[in-house]
Structure 1
Amino acid sequence: MSAARRWADRMATGWKRARSRHGWLDHAVRALIRYDKADAGRLSAALTYYAFFATFALALLGFAILGRILDYPEALAQVQRYLSDTFPRLDVQALRTAGGTAGLVACVVLPLAGLFWMDTLRSATRAIWRLEEYPGNFFLRQIIDLGVVAGLGVLLSLSLTVAFAAERVLTWLAVNTVGVDAMPARGVLSVAAFVLGIGINTLLAMALLTAPPRLRLPLRRVIGPALVITIGLEILKTLGQALLNLTAANPAYQVVTGAVAMLLFLKVLNQLILFATALAATSATGDVTDLATRPGRK
């Protein structure tokens, strides 16, 4: 036996031992295999196409509603800050300016883009779960998909409202105790804002992993994959902000990289969502119920 062959055998043996010794490693490998067999890379490309249009339509509609109906500048600022943090390359100020005039257009575009996005997300995640991708009656399926889109929008709105209220309470406490400019107060407010952001994104990630594929998962099975999405999103935001800083001084780069960076961000984010779905699908923790057909499923 050649030295190369012996080395390869030792590597294979060591890899098997590592997988048997570390459950998390074996789980990650099984999830990657499930991800690859479902052709999730191609599925994420379709998701990115519809998510690109849905993101702009959702932002326009949100600013139109908050600006025209609620007329609450601080709430608008909260939404603007969340979108800027989540999508570093999104020109939020331009969307806010156009929100009033483009709100009616967004009312038409958002349901269509959201429906196409949800249809693709549902079929992609159910494919990873190895379930029927298009369950039930066509028209009922579209109604449920629209309901899920609306539910996710309501969940996002409620989450931002809670975060805004909590931030206001903490700021009030800081102003009436040590002062908002004091170092301890600034540190506490920064940590609180970060924790609230993590909480919002984790809650939304859990909803994305369960509502579109219409599955009921135990918390201990879905929380880990949801945190993978949340942590991955924070890394993506950091990298996106770094790219923004690198190209800020060159207008030519800004024109080209704006849409390209947004597409790349959404592509990687959708791949992350599908990988987290594979993690949930290959977990052995708890029972999973397919709400589209109601059978119990391990």
Structure 2
Amino acid sequence: MTEQPNKPSRLTELRRRYAWLDHLVRAEERYTETHGDHYAAAITYFSILALVPLLMIAFATVALVLAANPDLLARLRANIAKLLPTGLDQTLDPVIDQAVKSATTVGVIGLLFALYSGLSWMTNLREALSEQWGQRRNPPTLLLRLRVDLARLIGLGLAMAISFGLPAAVSGFAEQILGFFGLADVGWAHWLLGVLAVLLGLLSDWLVFLWVFARLPREPVTWRSAARAAISAAIGFEVIKQVMVIYLAKVTETPTGAAFGPILGLLIFIFTVSRFLLFLTAWAATAPENQVEQPPPAPPPAVIRPEVTVRNGPGAGAAAGLLGAGAVVGLLGGRLLGRRRASSLSGWHRPWSGSLGRYRPQRVRCARPGR
């Protein structure tokens, strides 16, 4: 009975048939081997950590704006007084004044913490992207890494400001054009304006993700792979945003969800986007144009160690030799003893003949007793 060869699995057959499925499986393997989930969790942690100093900077900015506009500060106090019970507004006024006075201190502290958390966030993001691309070189020095990460952080901030400000500017300009031609109240014009806003949003997302995929890894990558991954990232990012809007609307319907839903939604949103971003990086890194045959690793150097074995008794070969020699000696001794007995019974003895060098048999008559 002949043995049947192992039949390939269904997934292996599908991977051989469909190139896109093979690419997807290789991307998943790369993502798992490079610990994508761990990097995504680190990015999420530093993203949440950066929110506190950013809020401090926003608070300081608002306080400085209010300090420079006394009329605006007075209107803010009047609106707060309308919402609070009688007498409580007088308690809140010193708090507002103290906040305005400490705006500079809060802003400086928030800026320092934002710089630290932002650099940590950028470092983890760059390390994660470099791992997905298979860039495992020696890490740079501390000063060089901080300088380059700071430059990349500023560049990413400018890219986000330009890409997110561009759709708003173009949409405002388009609304002015519609009003100029008297199409502001026409339904199809508003529909076209909405489509334009969506396309501009996708374009802005694509520009940001293109910068992330092409310029944030430690080593340069191909623009073609980065551009293709940025297209998928822009579309997926819009889908994730719409799903999160529906999720938050469902979660906040309950009292518990209203209290903890926003922060949980923010955590889930950042973690999902981080995983999606790293998986697309692995997908771009495993594209056919980026597959480079790695030479087999060199064998380790040969180490010759002489082994000396010390035994207390004879070895196996010596024991066998001694046993064989003992058997031969015993056999010869038995034969000689048999011959001596035979010669004593027959009355023969064999004196030594020196000239001939051999035994010469002679008959010797023995005297009887009494004669």
Q: TM-score, normalised by structure 1?
A: 0.75
Residue 18 of structure 1 corresponds to: 14
Aligned letter for 2:231? Answer: L
Residue 31 of structure 1 corresponds to: 27
Aligned residues with identical type, % of pairs: 27
The alpha-carbon deviation at position 67 of structure 1 amounts to 9.9
Aligned letter for 1:114? Answer: G
Aligned letter for 1:283? Answer: A
Which residues of structure 2 form unaligned runs of 5+? Answer: 1-5, 66-98, 293-371
Aligned equivalents of 1:155, 1:120: Cα separation in 2: 19
Aligned letter for 2:164? Answer: L
The alpha-carbon deviation at position 24 of structure 1 amounts to 1.7
* Residues 56-95 of structure 1 mapped to structure 2, 5 A cutoff: 57-58=53-54, 61=57
* Residues 197-236 of structure 1 mapped to structure 2, 5 A cutoff: 197-236=201-240
Contact 2:135 2:218 in 1 (8 A): no
Aligned letter for 1:17? Answer: E
Contact 1:217 1:287 in 2 (8 A): no
Q: Residues 217-253 of structure 1: CA distance to partner in whole angstroms, max 9, x if unpaired?
A: 3332112221222222122111111112113333321
Aligned equivalents of 1:231, 1:57: Cα separation in 2: 30
Question: Of the two structures, which has the highest relative contact order with CA contacts closer than 8 Å and spacing of 6 or more?
Answer: 1
Higher Rg: 2
Q: Which of 159, 162, 170 in structure 2 is aligned with 1:158?
A: 162
Aligned equivalents of 2:56, 2:200: Cα separation in 1: 24
Residue 268 of structure 1 corresponds to: 272
Contact 1:115 1:146 in 2 (8 A): yes
Residue 132 of structure 1 corresponds to: 136
Q: Which of 41, 47, 67 in structure 1 is aligned with 2:37?
A: 41
User: Higher mean Cα deviation, 182-191 or 55-64?
Assistant: 55-64
Aligned length: 252
Which protein is richer in helix relative to its size? Answer: 1
Aligned letter for 1:109? Answer: F
Give secondary structure in 2 for the equivalent of 1:249.
coil
Contact 1:209 1:277 in 2 (8 A): yes
User: Higher mean Cα deviation, 127-136 or 34-43?
Assistant: 127-136
The alpha-carbon deviation at position 182 of structure 1 amounts to 1.3
Aligned letter for 1:203? Answer: L
Residue 110 of structure 1 corresponds to: 114
Aligned equivalents of 1:203, 1:218: Cα separation in 2: 15
Aligned equivalents of 1:55, 1:195: Cα separation in 2: 29
Aligned equivalents of 2:59, 2:203: Cα separation in 1: 23
Aligned letter for 2:13? Answer: R
2:180 maps to 1:176: yes
- Change in Cα spacing, 1:247 to 1:113, as seen in structure 2 (3 Å) is same
Aligned equivalents of 2:169, 2:54: Cα separation in 1: 22
Q: Residues 111-143 of structure 1: CA distance to partner in whole angstroms, max 9, x if unpaired?
A: 111100111111122122222366322111111
Residue 82 of structure 1 corresponds to: none
- Change in Cα spacing, 1:159 to 1:64, as seen in structure 2 (3 Å) is farther
- Change in Cα spacing, 1:201 to 1:67, as seen in structure 2 (3 Å) is farther
User: Higher mean Cα deviation, 15-24 or 251-260?
Assistant: 15-24
The alpha-carbon deviation at position 193 of structure 1 amounts to 1.0
